[in-house]
Chain A
């Protein structure tokens, strides 16, 4: 019985050792500084140029994304419940507060302009303040190391001002308000 107990305990310890940071969360700031203005998708870096299509077939690149505006905000969506919640929050509050910013949804799952257009339509985002970009080859996903819910803000000089998971919209509005 004691050997059985020891085996169970050992098994449990092995399992728990593979559990990452969740068992004992850290509050330590482990961000590593990046060289401001260098090329990359992290905050303070200059975004590499990109070229993707939107759901109407128009090509959008770094320059056109921010043309005539203070900057652009990108939200990575897979058309899921939490995505809808975030997008709805942005549409009803943030976009109205910042008319001098272009807002983009980045569809990285549909794989085609037609598929993304259909998804945007069915979710109610085909028209309005958002433009939906179709990241068929994951160009934007890779530049910004993004996933569902990642929110990126770029100013009109191409500098990344924010790159993080969408939370309650407060950080997004702070980043947009701070655009030069």
Chain B
């Protein structure tokens, strides 16, 4: 089951955008829920380009009572995403980024099958680095304990196909149809070879008017989606290969995502909110000589009662490559 593609496209969009984070927080954010996406340019660099492929495999859902329920027999639901991201440092502590996903929906039930694709929703972000992490090898004084802290502001732009476009089927949806403004706090600390990070995000959608639903014009009304909160925790270990500085970093993560009830014409739409918990693991390889890095990740929804509400349970497999411009 898929919250139909509407729902899924939504989760897709989120996941796609969220995967464009720094290597440390990447694993924590690649999951459907992630925080407002930000493509973090390393302190020593001026820009980065990131290309990520996600395969999101749907396997049941949690209902409004937090009970896990299997998909209908014979169903096979996937969404694939290609996320292109660019980040640019335009001042010592300031950077901006743009993340653009392209979405393929591939859904088969026993009685119906659909394959569609289209542009997803775009995320533009602005990040200010409040404190720098010195990434100490040893703690020699309290200064070495200071974490890196970044504050971000992201705007989700509804460039995807939503239920309010001229699309008759929920299978065609690749975006949510609403602008959303997110504030993000990212705290990272590296004491080599270990690193931990915490990302917290709070977002609010902008109310809009709607005069069409799945291709059918309706009496215009106003709709708003509920505020969104996400938090992720991740921990990683970097293993240096040889003497050249190349490294492989392994990361594990936990992510919580919650969206409150939406509203119609100002009246609360009880039961439209959702939440989800997931865990993840990722591996990244960084080559210091060529400025390239590659990574792969797996985000897993625990398919048991109590790990989500009103949301699809999915596994997301990610493969990405990134280039850093010095």
- A and B co-occur in one complex: yes
User: Which residues of A does B touch, CB under 8 Å?
Assistant: 15-16, 18-23, 25-32, 78-86, 88-89, 107-112, 115, 118-119, 122-123, 135-136, 138, 145, 147-150, 163-165, 167-168, 170
Q: Point out the residue from B71, B158, B217, B274 that lies within 8 Å of A23, measured CB to CB.
A: B158
Asked whether any CB of chain A lies closer than 8 Å to the CB of B142, the reply is no
Cβ contacts under 8 Å, B4 to chain A: 78, 80, 82-83, 147-149
Interface size on B, residues (CB 8 A): 64
Cβ contacts under 8 Å, B205 to chain A: none
Cβ contacts under 8 Å, B159 to chain A: 15-16, 19, 22-23
Cβ contacts under 8 Å, B166 to chain A: 20
Let me know if A164 and B74 touch, CB within 8 A: no
| Residue contacts A-B, CB under 8 angstroms, 12 given | A18-B119, A19-B158, A20-B165, A21-B212, A22-B177, A81-B310, A82-B4, A109-B112, A110-B74, A145-B168, A149-B6, A164-B213
Q: Which of B36-44, B62-70, B130-138, B225-233 contacts A (4 or more CB under 8 A)?
A: B62-70
Q: Point out the residue from B64, B71, B209, B216 that lies within 8 Å of A163, measured CB to CB.
A: B216
Q: Point out the residue from B6, B62, B219, B269 that lies within 8 Å of A148, measured CB to CB.
A: B6
For residue A155, give the distance in angstroms from its CB to the closest CB of chain B. 19
A78's nearest neighbour on chain B, judged by CB, is B4
Cβ contacts under 8 Å, A107 to chain B: 72
Let me know if A145 and B212 touch, CB within 8 A: no
B281-323 near A? 1/0 per residue, CB < 8 Å? 0000000000000000000000000000011100000000000
Cβ contacts under 8 Å, B239 to chain A: none
Cβ contacts under 8 Å, A163 to chain B: 216
Known interface pairs A85-B271, A145-B215. Does A22 touch B162 (Cβ–Cβ under 8 Å)?
Answer: yes
Q: Which of A20, A23, A111, A119 has the most CB of B within 10 A?
A: A20
Asked whether any CB of chain A lies closer than 8 Å to the CB of B243, the reply is no
Q: Point out the residue from B64, B213, B219 that lies within 8 Å of A88, measured CB to CB.
A: B64
Let me know if A81 and B274 touch, CB within 8 A: yes
Let me know if A84 and B64 touch, CB within 8 A: yes
Give Cα A118–Cα B69 distance, bound, in whole angstroms: 12
Asked whether any CB of chain A lies closer than 8 Å to the CB of B244, the reply is no
Give Cα A26–Cα B310 distance, bound, in whole angstroms: 29
Cβ contacts under 8 Å, B270 to chain A: 89, 168
Cβ contacts under 8 Å, A22 to chain B: 158-160, 162, 164-165, 175, 177-178
Let me know if B119 and A15 touch, CB within 8 A: yes
Known interface pairs A32-B217, A149-B170. Does A27 touch B111 (Cβ–Cβ under 8 Å)?
Answer: no
Q: Point out the residue from B2, B100, B209, B213 that lies within 8 Å of A80, measured CB to CB.
A: B2
- Report, nearest first, the 8 A-B pairs whose CB atoms are least far apart: A111-B111, A27-B209, A111-B110, A148-B4, A22-B158, A109-B109, A20-B165, A119-B72
Give Cα A27–Cα B217 distance, bound, in whole angstroms: 11
Give Cα A67–Cα B109 distance, bound, in whole angstroms: 32
Which residues of chain B (1-28) have a CB below 8 Å from chain A? 1-4, 6-7
Let me know if A78 and B264 touch, CB within 8 A: no
For residue B123, give the distance in angstroms from its CB to the closest CB of chain A. 14
Let me know if A165 and B112 touch, CB within 8 A: no
Q: Point out the residue from A19, A21, A26, A80 that lies within 8 Å of B1, measured CB to CB.
A: A80
A150's nearest neighbour on chain B, judged by CB, is B214
Cβ contacts under 8 Å, B87 to chain A: none
Known interface pairs A84-B69, A89-B270, A167-B264. Does A115 touch B168 (Cβ–Cβ under 8 Å)?
Answer: no
Let me know if B63 and A81 touch, CB within 8 A: yes
B179-215 near A? 1/0 per residue, CB < 8 Å? 0000000000000000000000000000011111111
